[in-house]
Structures are given as structure tokens and as C-alpha cells.
Amino acid sequence: MICNLLFVLVLSFSIALLSLSPYDAYQSVQWLKTAKGVVVDNQTPYFITYQSVKLGNAYLPNSEMVAPFSSKTLILKGKVSGSRVNWEAINDFGGTEKGEAVLR
């Protein structure tokens, strides 16, 4: 009986966390420019895999995954410049979602 109740509580909590759509999660990420790249602050319940990140002439050489409720520094190749980052994230279907964000 206690196990069933615990399962229902965990399941309910998990569904509530995922009430944010993946598209909204991509838009919620905060970006901070550093000397060699960007810090990605993902305070959503989703793993987000970036296939492409571009900032001026700097770019991400390999795909990178950012875990839920965490931050990750991405080192970019090239000269980091500009105030907007362009990104492509891999969605649940293997396609990509493109976006642009203003750097903090």
C-alpha cells in the first residue's frame, strides 16, 4: 500500500515537472558570454542537446548535452564576439529546433 502511494506521488510529481513543453524549455535557457565561449544555464526538467552553437565567428565543434537544472560551459572555436547566440537543439524526434538568444 505504501509503495503504491509512493509510486502515485512520484508519477504525479514527474508529470507536473514536465508541464513545460520542450519548445518552452529551449526558450527558457539563459546564456552568459565568457572569454572562450558561453555558459548555458538550463533550469528546466529537460536534457537539451545542442548540435550547433554560434556566437559571432565562434562555433561549437561538437554536440553537447546540458542536464536538467544545471549549467554547463561550452568552449567555442574562434573569436567570441557579439551579443546574440544562435543555436540548434536536437528534439525528441531527431530533428532540430533553431533559436536565438540574447546573452546576459
Q: What is the DSSP letter of 90?
A: E
Sign of the Cα torsion 74, 80, 84, 88 reads negative
pLDDT of residue 71 exceeding 50, the answer is yes
What does the alpha-carbon distance between residue 51 and residue 40 come to, in Å, rounded to a whole number? Answer: 14
pLDDT in tens, 53-66: 999 999 999 999 99
- Is pTM, for the whole model, over 0.85? no
The neighbour count for residue 5, using CB atoms within 10 Å, is: 9
C-alpha cell at 95: 530533428
Q: Walk me through the domains of the chain, giving residue ranges and CATH numbers.
A: 22-102 (2.60.40.10)
- Which percentage of the chain shows pLDDT scores above 90? 82
